Amino acid sequence: MGISGMNEKIGATIYSLARVLLWGFTHLICSYRVSGRASLPTTGPLLIVANHLSWYDPLLLGVVVRRRVWFLTKVELFRWPLVGWLARRTGQIPVQRRGSDRAALQQALLYLREGKAVVIFPEGTVERQEQMLAAHPGAALLALRSGTPVLPFAHQGTRQILRFHGQWRPQVRVKIGRPYLPPSHKG
């Protein structure tokens, strides 16, 4: 096994361990209901497109989706000591949110060609209200260029997680849509 293969195996082990720990933590701090999980492909390339309401959204998505996923992650998180180490070791994709980050899009396309599940939050940031922001074009670009099935992933209630002025274990609802293929794109 080469260095690349060994790094991938270490990353998979770290991801699996973190997912188990987050599963327990998530069940402690919130209750969640998932609908549509049966439509989630267990193998093959997949572009998961999710709304972004809270810093907890990627953690919840990693718990709910039972296969390994790779996130387009804001580059600032890679500077945090523990979070950055985890992101690098598990192969997450750093993205510059200002302008167009071609390197991040190319890495995401590579992962999709390798049959991986890539997660993108098309809003690009957390909305401070319980509503969605306008989407940036990166998700559509990845869908059209890769021809990969797109899986809509929507949730609500994550803004209340770990906010102690509300209820202790807020109810979070997750809706997983059916995967669909984007229309063919020419030009």
Q: Which amino acid is at 143?
A: A
Q: What pTM did the predictor assign?
A: 0.88
Q: Is the pLDDT of residue 132 over 70?
A: no
pLDDT at residue 52, rounded to an integer: 80
Taking residues 106-111, report their average pLDDT.
95
Taking residues 107-135, report their average pLDDT.
78
Tell me which of 29 and 135 has the higher pLDDT: 29
In sequence order, what are the residues at sequence separation of 6 or more whose Cβ sits closer than 8 angstroms to the Cβ of residue 59? 22, 26
* Residue 13: band (very low, low, confident or very high) from pLDDT cuts 50, 70, 90: very high
Nearest-angstrom CA–CA distance, 132 and 126: 9
Taking residues 48-75, report their average pLDDT.
91
* Residue 128: band (very low, low, confident or very high) from pLDDT cuts 50, 70, 90: low
Q: Is the pLDDT of residue 88 over 60?
A: yes
Walk me through the domains of the chain, giving residue ranges and CATH numbers.
3-176 (3.40.1130.10)
Q: What is the mean pLDDT of the chain?
A: 86
Q: What percent of the chain has pLDDT over 70?
A: 86
Nearest-angstrom CA–CA distance, 58 and 149: 20
Q: Is the pLDDT of residue 1 over 80?
A: no
Q: Are 64 and 174 in contact (CB under 8 A)?
A: yes
Beta bridge partners of residue 35, listed in sequence order? 175
Q: Is the pLDDT of residue 63 over 60?
A: yes
